[in-house]
Structures are given as C-alpha cells and as structure tokens.
Chain A
Amino acid sequence: GAVVSQHPSRVICKSGTSVKIECRSLDFQATTMFWYRQFPKQSLMLMATSNEGSKATYEQGVEKDKFLINHASLTLSTLTVTSAHPEDSSFYICSASGGYRGRNEQFFGPGTRLTVL
C-alpha cells in the first residue's frame, strides 16, 4: 500500500517558538495533501488542503497566518505552527492522495504529537 511518513513523531517546544512538521509520500506522487488536527478521543478535524505548487485552502476558523502550509513538491508538504501557544498542543495528522492511487482515497501519516509548554 501507499506509505506516508511524518516527521517528527513528537515535539515539545516553548511558547512563542515555531515548529515545522513534514509530511512525505514515500512511494507515490501526492497531488493533494491534507492536514488534520485531532484532540484526544475526538474526531479528525480538517485544517487545510494543499495542492502541489499552489496555495493551501484553509477550512473556516483556521488561521492561515498561524498554520503555514507549503506543498513544494509532489512528495512533500510541510505544516509550520508559528508562535505556538499551549492551546496549539494537539495531534496533527497529514494525508495524501493522487496519481494512480487516487480514487478519492487518502493515505494517512502516523501523526505528530505537539506539546507547547
């Protein structure tokens, strides 16, 4: 099956700093990548959709200046949490779709646990 990796798997940072999370599709070209946020025991909430080479589309209520998304290549998307605060602590998950593996199916990364002190 299609493999999507995320790095780092876990990060702890101080309030006010920025954190970058990478999402890579390892064995296919992802024309579209999605970023989700998940709180404990809750569902995944879509934050934004990014297409390679174009600006990300953010869901309502998501601050685009706080959550910077870059999809510079068909295998890499990054999420940067700028000036992180404790309320940004959460589990962030990316997914990827595209190419012959499309069919509206998304392949998920293992997630990144962000803790802001």
Chain B
Amino acid sequence: AQTVTQSQPEMSVQEAETVTLSCTYDTSENNYYLFWYKQPPSRQMILVIRQEAYKQQNATENRFSVNFQKAAKSFSLKISDSQLGDTAMYFCGMSGANSKLTFGKGITLSVRP
C-alpha cells in the first residue's frame, strides 16, 4: 500500500514571496511517479508538476519547483514569486504500477496581497 502525508492543513504567504509546501510518502515500489495538483475554487484539478522517481534531477515548471529526496521519501513544492492566482488547495499525489493516484489530505494556500 502507498500513503501520502501532507501535515500542514493551511499556509499563507505574501504576494511575490516564496513558499514551500511539504509532502512525504511511503511505497514499496521502485518505479513510481509523484505529482502536485492545484485545485482552485472552481474545483478543477490542475497538474502543477510531476516527477518520475527514477530521475534524480528535480522537476521545475516556471515558478514551481520540487525538492525530491528519494531516500527520505520527501517531495516538497516550492512556489516562487507567489501570485494571487496561486491561492488554492494543493494536493500531493503518487502513482505506481497500477496507475492509481493516492492523494494527501491537501493544503490550503492563501496568497495575501
């Protein structure tokens, strides 16, 4: 079985500043994928970034980057230059060989103007 843990229920950040959202996971598989999804008030799930476990290099997508620590089973998301539109719920997730996504509980991020 695989588990994903997001221990912070809420965070707040000032516009233009940087914030890091934490996530840890557990799995017995060697090949798996990690994701961060954003869910704004519209509730549409939007993929923010993905990381293949076999890749050592941390994934980046514009203002979004991850710190993937495979040995520690940690997968944090860093948002640089936070914007008001980043206000949303963020879910960390992982999938293995069966392609099923397991999500963490999510974190509500508020960007203050």
- Mark B66-108 against chain A: 1 for CB-CB distance below 8 A, else 0: 0000000000000000000000010100010011111111101
For residue B47, CB closer than 8 A to chain A, the reply is yes
Note all chain A residues with C-beta closer than 8 A to B105: 42-43
Candidate in A49, A106, A111 with the most chain B CB atoms within 10 angstroms: A106
B44–A32 CB distance below 8 A? no
A104–B103 CB distance below 8 A? no
- Mark B35-76 against chain A: 1 for CB-CB distance below 8 A, else 0: 101000011111100100000000000000000000000000
Note all chain A residues with C-beta closer than 8 A to B89: 41
Chain B interface bracket (under 10, 10 to 19, 20 to 34, 35 or more) = 20 to 34
Q: How many residues of A contact B (CB 8 A)?
A: 20
Known A-B contacts A43-B103, A43-B104, A46-B100; A105 and B50 likewise in contact (beta carbons under 8 Å): yes
* B33, closest chain A residue (CB): A104
Note all chain B residues with C-beta closer than 8 A to A38: 43
Known A-B contacts A104-B33, A106-B101; A111 and B43 likewise in contact (beta carbons under 8 Å): yes
Candidate in B37, B89, B103 with the most chain A CB atoms within 10 angstroms: B103
* A107, closest chain B residue (CB): B47
Report Cα–Cα, A105/B45, bound state, in Å: 12
A34–B101 CB distance below 8 A? yes
Q: How far is the CB of B41 from chain A (nearest CB, A)?
A: 12
Q: Kindly identify which residue among A91, A104, A108 contacts B99, using a CB–CB cutoff of 8 Å.
A: A104
Note all chain A residues with C-beta closer than 8 A to B104: 43
For residue A8, CB closer than 8 A to chain B, the reply is no
In order of increasing CB-CB distance, the 8 nearest A-B pairs are A108-B45, A104-B33, A43-B103, A104-B95, A110-B44, A43-B105, A43-B106, A111-B43
CB<8 Å pairs between A and B, sample of 24: A41-B89, A41-B108, A43-B91, A43-B103, A44-B103, A46-B100, A46-B101, A49-B99, A49-B100, A93-B45, A95-B101, A97-B99, A103-B33, A105-B33, A105-B35, A105-B50, A106-B101, A108-B37, A108-B44, A108-B45, A108-B46, A110-B43, A110-B44, A111-B43
